[in-house]
């Protein structure tokens, strides 16, 4: 579809940016915070790029006022951040730690005072280590009640101040790394355990959405999903079937369960045959159906192209965490699908396909299938940046990426998609979980590297000034 005129961005469109607690806060043991699984995991030898960790991160915990002042200067109308569960409940449950609550209250108040709508993510992977040790975290049903207890504490405290809430961030990406690739804690490689942990996360997600209705009746809540739309490598029927398999197993498995309250049929049938299906107990489907979201948060970075995979074919592989282009191997599930490079698309140094049209396709597929409003809760380009004389960072490649993806949002809105806002990843540079500090995403450069926290100086990149103009014109000057 080539529209003659694009629908303008609506008044009240949320012009945001995003972050996550572990990736920015630092202050890993301040004010009564307990350890998360990431605090422990990043200190194990060989788990992250050059042993990088979030002990200090970009020290947002101590520089919050300065960071919010920069957001205000840039003109943001929304800011997506996550709350660290072990800051609120150091051992996962029990009495809330007031100092942890108070930090987020100060942040939320500062945002509101700056005219910025807070978008609060309840869970961005930093599970209290105590719950991992006590019962294996997401592998045990006890996680559902503990997660609800934690979320309800936040609902009660912030219901009057926060309208937009994200339940789970990228359950799909996090659990794939945690239980298939073994690259996120608890570093397991077992598909049966993967589907079990996911089933509990679905139940926890629906349970807190049901609780949200009671505590935050005027708010909106939904999960953020890492949506990489599947493409077929060719029109050969075997590739088309691989593409259907991939879309169902890597996307609809999560999204259908969130939005319809049931698993997609072909994938479930396959897993029941292989013995990997989750144990769906009586009452589980009712729980899923009582906690459907108000919107879907879309984290979009790239599309993935799939081809046929024989029964003795490629298995899951480690991802590129070095920025050495061209080092990502083909990865898949034998008998279902495997990835293959898309010759039509350029890639970043981390081999992520750059595909703005893929974002338009993503938004349309989700809007048509689920008939829900959408919010882009992440989108961005992780690249090496160069700090030049006079504190300049000329990240024109990032501007090009974001501009093209905002155009895709506008095209999707012209196609009828209801889009609440756009929160690119990330506001400042952050710790990339496995890729250290050298894979930068921010509008604001942070002067630090993997091993040296330096002075943590904040430096406005060229993209900062570009986005400022975009926001000031409500998207008319892209």
- The residues of the shown chain that bind ligand BG6, judged by CB under 6 A, are 20, 23, 169-170, 173, 226, 299, 378, 382, 425, 432-433, 435, 439
Q: How far is the CB of 435 from ligand BG6 (least distance, A)?
A: 5
- Identify whether 426 is preceded by a cis peptide bond (ω within 30 of 0): yes
Catalytic residue among 247, 378, 383, 411: 378
Q: By C-beta, is 319 or 367 nearer to ligand BG6?
A: 319
> Is 133 designated active site?
no
Q: How far is the CB of 457 from ligand BG6 (least distance, A)?
A: 21
Of all residues in the shown chain, the one whose CB is closest to ligand BG6 is 432
Non-local CB neighbours of 301 within 8 Å, separated by 6+ positions: 226, 228, 352, 378, 379, 380
Q: How far is the CB of 169 from ligand BG6 (least distance, A)?
A: 5
Q: How far is the CB of 5 from ligand BG6 (least distance, A)?
A: 33
How far is residue 368's CA from residue 201's CA, in Å, rounded to a whole number? Answer: 25
> Is 378 designated active site?
yes
Distances (CA, A) of 19 to 37, 95, 291, 307: 18, 27, 26, 34
Contact 409, 367 (CB under 8 A): no
Closest listed residue to residue 401, CA positions, set 444, 463, 461: 463
Q: By C-beta, is 170 or 256 nearer to ligand BG6?
A: 170
How far is residue 417's CA from residue 415's CA, in Å, rounded to a whole number? Answer: 6
Catalytic residue among 170, 247, 383, 411: 170
CA dihedral sign, ordered 266, 270, 271, 275 = positive
User: Which class for 316: exposed (0-12), middle (13-18), buried (19 or more C-beta within 10 A)?
Assistant: middle
Q: How many CB atoms lie within 10 A of CB 311?
A: 7
Q: How far is the CB of 180 from ligand BG6 (least distance, A)?
A: 15
CA R_g for the chain:
21
Q: By C-beta, is 21 or 221 nearer to ligand BG6?
A: 21
Where in the sequence numbering do the catalytic residues fall?
170, 378
């Amino acid at each position: 579809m080539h529209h003659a005129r694009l629908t303008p961005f609506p008044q009240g469109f949320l012009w945001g940016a995003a972050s996550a607690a572990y990736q920015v806060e630092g202050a890993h043991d301040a004010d009564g915070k307990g350890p998360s699984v990431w605090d422990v995991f990043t200190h194990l030898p060989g788990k992250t790029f050059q042993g990088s960790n979030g002990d200090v991160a970009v020290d947002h915990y101590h520089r919050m006022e300065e960071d919010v002042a920069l957001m205000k200067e840039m003109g943001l109308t929304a800011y997506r951040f996550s709350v660290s569960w072990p800051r609120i409940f150091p051992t996962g449950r029990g009495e809330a730690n007031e100092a942890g609550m108070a930090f987020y209250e100060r942040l939320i108040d500062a945002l509101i005072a700056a005219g910025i709508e807070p978008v609060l993510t309840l869970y961005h992977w930093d599970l209290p280590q105590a719950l991992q040790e006590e019962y294996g975290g997401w592998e045990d049903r006890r996680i559902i009640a503990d997660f609800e207890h934690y979320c309800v504490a936040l609902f009660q405290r912030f219901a009057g101040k926060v309208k937009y809430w994200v339940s789970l961030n990228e359950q799909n990406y996090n659990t794939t790394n945690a239980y298939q690739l073994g690259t996120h804690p608890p570093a397991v490689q077992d598909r049966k355990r993967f589907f079990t942990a996911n089933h509990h996360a679905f139940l926890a997600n629906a349970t807190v959405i049901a609780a949200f209705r009671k505590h935050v009746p005027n708010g909106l809540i939904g999960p953020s999903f890492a949506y990489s739309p599947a493409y077929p490598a060719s029109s050969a029927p075997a590739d088309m079937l691989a593409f259907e398999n991939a879309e169902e197993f890597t996307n609809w498995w999560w999204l259908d369960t969130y939005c319809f309250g049931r698993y997609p049929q072909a994938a479930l049938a396959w897993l029941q045959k292989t013995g990997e299906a989750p144990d769906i107990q009586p009452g589980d489907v009712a729980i899923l159906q009582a906690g459907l979201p108000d919107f879907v948060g879309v984290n979009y970075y790239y599309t993935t192209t799939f081809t046929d995979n024989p029964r003795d074919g490629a298995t899951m592989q480690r991802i590129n965490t070095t920025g050495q282009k061209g080092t990502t191997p083909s990865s898949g599930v034998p008998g279902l699908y495997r990835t293959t490079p898309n010759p039509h698309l350029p890639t970043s140094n981390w081999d992520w396909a750059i595909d703005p049209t893929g974002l338009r396709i993503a938004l349309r597929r989700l809007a048509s299938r689920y008939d829900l409003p959408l919010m882009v809760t992440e989108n961005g380009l992780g690249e090496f940046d160069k700090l030049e004389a006079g504190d300049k960072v000329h990240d024109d490649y990032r501007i090009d990426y974001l501009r093209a993806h905002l155009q895709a949002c506008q095209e999707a809105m012209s196609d009828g998609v209801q889009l609440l806002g756009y929160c690119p990843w990330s506001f400042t540079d952050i710790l990339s979980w496995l890729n250290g500090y050298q894979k930068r995403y921010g509008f604001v450069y942070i002067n630090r590297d993997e091993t040296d926290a330096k002075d943590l100086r904040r430096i406005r990149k060229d993209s900062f000034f570009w986005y400022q103009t975009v926001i000031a014109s409500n998207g008319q000057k892209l």
